[in-house]
């Protein structure tokens, strides 16, 4: 954590982990940029989107697993804690890891926007910065507000974020570049928005 972030942090990472470990399963807590965040529980449409994506990934790449609920140590020096909607990694990659795994080996993180007031800040700004800084090759944002799918690739570990960002409307085919190398037909996503 930078000196500036230390001054504005709500708590230490250790304090956050203590709070997060005591939270009920119905509450998902994250810690990005030194601030505590609460994620809304998945609604049926969000869960259906993640199940659809799991099926697509497993059909095209049976050597990979799409993990839901896996926490990652992100940001500079692993000072952030994020619980992506899903993490794509080699089969059994996270076996034996604790609640907050190192992001090394994660090939893609996935977020499906919720209808929370802080979705813009968290999913569109903070998380791509943290995931890119952590070196995760791809960040897939399924944005139910704008009915778009955005693929972030070429992570920038120095400043955070990604150098290549491509956005497609629901209904278009979306290429997930290497190291995934699959294409998604996103037509069905039109069914899962308000």
Q: pLDDT digits over 17-67, tens only?
A: 889 988 888 788 889 888 888 877 778 999 999 999 999 999 999 999 999
Would you state the structure tokens that stand for residue 22, as one six-digit string? Answer: 């005591």
Read off the pLDDT of residues 101-117 as tens digits, 9 standing for 90 and up. 999 999 999 999 987 77
pTM of the shown model = 0.89
What's the fold here for domain 42-192?
tt1808, chain A (3.90.1570)
- The percent of residues in the chain predicted with pLDDT above 70, rounded, is 96
Give the whole-angstrom CA distance, residue 110 versus residue 119.
14
Domain coordinates of the chain in residue numbers? 42-192
């Amino acid at each position: 954590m930078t000196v500036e972030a230390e001054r504005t942090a709500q708590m230490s990472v250790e304090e956050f982990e203590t709070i997060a470990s005591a939270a009920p399963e119905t509450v998902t807590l994250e810690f990005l940029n030194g601030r505590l965040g609460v994620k809304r529980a998945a609604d049926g449409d969000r869960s259906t989107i993640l199940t659809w994506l799991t099926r697509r990934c497993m059909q095209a790449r049976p050597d990979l697993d799409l993990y839901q609920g896996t926490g990652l140590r992100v940001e500079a020096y692993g000072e952030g804690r994020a619980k992506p909607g899903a993490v794509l990694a080699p089969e059994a990659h996270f076996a034996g890891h604790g609640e907050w795994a190192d992001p090394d080996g994660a090939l893609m993180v996935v977020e499906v926007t919720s209808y929370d007031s802080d979705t813009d800040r968290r999913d569109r700004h903070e998380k791509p910065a943290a995931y890119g800084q952590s070196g995760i090759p791809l960040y897939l944002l399924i944005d139910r507000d704008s009915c778009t799918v955005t693929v972030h690739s070429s992570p920038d570990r120095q400043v955070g974020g990604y150098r290549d960002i491509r956005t497609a409307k629901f209904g278009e085919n979306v290429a997930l570049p290497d190291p995934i190398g699959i294409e998604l037909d996103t037509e069905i996503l039109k069914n899962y928005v308000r």
